[in-house]
Structure 1
């Protein structure tokens, strides 16, 4: 099943074509990463799998690491949009949790989410970039929270969002390192409940 993420309707045709190619390359790369390992997969092999030259690959991605960033960036936009569309009267903590529902359900349905996360946590270069991406998740969700609750102090908004993103990452890490012994959504619920209980 595809690891791609649906695009917003206002994206231009040119950008849709570019992202469609990036999606195809991403899927091919992820298939190879899972089969033979990230470090063992050269760019030329990824390019060949989708019928393009290595030079053409670099028109879409600066490095093979960017393939994972592409997938993460698309999902980040999707989660932020889902959060923005939550009911206005819903508690913020609940809205943040529910914003990840489609992410969890749809990536799990591909059957690749768990093995991809295992590769990320086992590959130092990917793990480092994964941690860096958390800043982007926090920044975008904080902006969305401030748009929803403009009276909030930005520091408070960043703190709340940071806690929610931290809960999600803790759940994913536990899920990946335990080889999916417990469901990701259950782990995420428990992490957020634990933080809420402290408050």
Structure 2
């Protein structure tokens, strides 16, 4: 009969090795670039075989996106915990910002440098973007379903839950672009995301600029 302590020890070693592979990968991505980093470079840095790498990950993109399942669960939990009377965009803002602040504080194994590398790869690398979209389909559907429950509609009939998830996606993209352009060491992505959401919440149907009196003459 296998000793439970022995099983636990083996599981801990697996987790430690997985974390080591992720850490080495991000360090190399930041140093050399994603395309220039070979799987052999990662395994050499951790001192394991390439076969060991493939026991944990199918490709380099999977290393980048490894955090997503845990992050998604935390986002869903945060959204469920929001007050029932809270407007949906407000609830999404609080939930999304809470999860991003967790990333910035070290959740899912992130530090400031790794978080920046992640954001760049998610936005600019075609393979990572494609895998992110592929992986995101089921997560997107679960968010649509939860939004429909909160606002009391059938997502198969009412298009608003789908539109709202599109707004959530857009908020992240816009926040990243603004955060990058500001190029400030003190600027937090979570603060920019909160700012973007507040603008969306307050309404974007802004009146067109009216011509001045001189222009109308």
| In structure 2, C-alpha distance between the alignment counterparts of 1:95 and 1:65, rounded to whole Å | 31
The alpha-carbon deviation at position 57 of structure 1 amounts to 0.8
The alpha-carbon deviation at position 167 of structure 1 amounts to 0.8
Partner of 1:59: 55
Alignment of 1:103-182 (within 5 A): 103-109=99-105, 110-112=111-113, 113-149=115-151, 151-154=152-155, 155-176=159-180, 178-180=182-184, 182=187
Match of 2:79 among 68, 71, 83: 83
Aligned 8 A contact 1:114 1:176 in 2: no
TM-score scaled by length of structure 2: 0.71
Aligned 8 A contact 1:34 1:115 in 2: yes
Aligned 8 A contact 2:88 2:150 in 1: no
C-alpha RMSD of the superposition: 2.8
Q: What are the ranges of 5 or more consecutive residues in structure 2 without an aligned counterpart?
A: 1-7, 106-110, 206-217
TM-score scaled by length of structure 1: 0.77
Closer, same or farther in 2 for the Cα pair 1:55/1:137, shift >3 Å?
A: same
| Alignment deviations for residues 78-98 of structure 1 (CA, whole Å, 9 cap, x no partner) | 212211122222222111111
| In structure 1, C-alpha distance between the alignment counterparts of 2:184 and 2:78, rounded to whole Å | 25
130-139 or 34-43: bigger deviation? 130-139
| In structure 2, C-alpha distance between the alignment counterparts of 1:143 and 1:15, rounded to whole Å | 34
The alpha-carbon deviation at position 134 of structure 1 amounts to 4.9
Closer, same or farther in 2 for the Cα pair 1:95/1:17, shift >3 Å?
A: farther
1:198 and 2:204 matched? yes
Closer, same or farther in 2 for the Cα pair 1:47/1:102, shift >3 Å?
A: farther
Q: What are the ranges of 5 or more consecutive residues in structure 1 without an aligned counterpart?
A: 1-12
Match of 1:189 among 194, 201, 207: 194
Higher RCO, 1 or 2 (CA under 8 Å, sep at least 6)?
1
Structure with bigger gyration radius = 2
The alpha-carbon deviation at position 169 of structure 1 amounts to 2.4
| In structure 2, C-alpha distance between the alignment counterparts of 1:153 and 1:198, rounded to whole Å | 26
The alpha-carbon deviation at position 30 of structure 1 amounts to 1.0
| Alignment deviations for residues 131-171 of structure 1 (CA, whole Å, 9 cap, x no partner) | 5455454223223323444x223132121122122212221
Partner of 2:44: 48
